[in-house]
């Protein structure tokens, strides 16, 4: 399980390494062109079952931290599809891509006292 650390507030989004690698590529491509986008996910029932979303911008610090050191095989066709999704008004949804993870579970941690869980999609 890898972690995307978003912004100076340190919002932590725990995601399987494979999905995190794709998000890193999408963020790198979009933000290098100064194109922000929304990144969203479904929260787990433990925090109400709603949705969370962040604005991915080149002005916001991002850290991609992987649990495993091994390189991840990337599918260029999936990258293109995810880039197209990121270009939409609703942005890139992690929920739509949970199937590419080894372990389809993720959590999101905001402040240390608040823990959010991303719900699994059917």
pLDDT confidence of residue 102: 42
| pLDDT tens digits, 68-82 | 888 889 999 999 999
pLDDT band per the 50, 70, 90 thresholds, residue 47: low
- Domain boundary assignment for the chain: 2-118
- Find the angle CA(40)-CA(78)-CA(26) to the nearest 5 degrees: 50
- Please enumerate in sequence order all residues whose Cβ is within 8 A of that of 52, keeping only pairs 6 or more positions apart, or say none: 40, 41, 43, 108, 116
């Amino acid at each position: 399980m890898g972690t995307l650390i978003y912004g100076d507030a340190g919002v932590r989004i725990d995601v399987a390494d494979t999905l995190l690698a794709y998000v890193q590529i999408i963020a790198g491509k979009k933000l290098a062109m100064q194109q922000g986008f929304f990144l969203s996910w479904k929260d787990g029932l433990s925090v109400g079952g709603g949705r969370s979303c962040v604005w991915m911008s080149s002005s916001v610090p991002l850290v991609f931290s992987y649990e495993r050191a091994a390189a991840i095989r990337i599918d260029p066709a999936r990258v293109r599809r995810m880039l197209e999704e990121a270009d939409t008004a609703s942005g890139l949804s992690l929920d739509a891509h949970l199937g590419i993870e080894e372990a389809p579970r993720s959590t999101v941690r905001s402040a240390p006292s608040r823990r959010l869980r991303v719900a699994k999609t059917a």
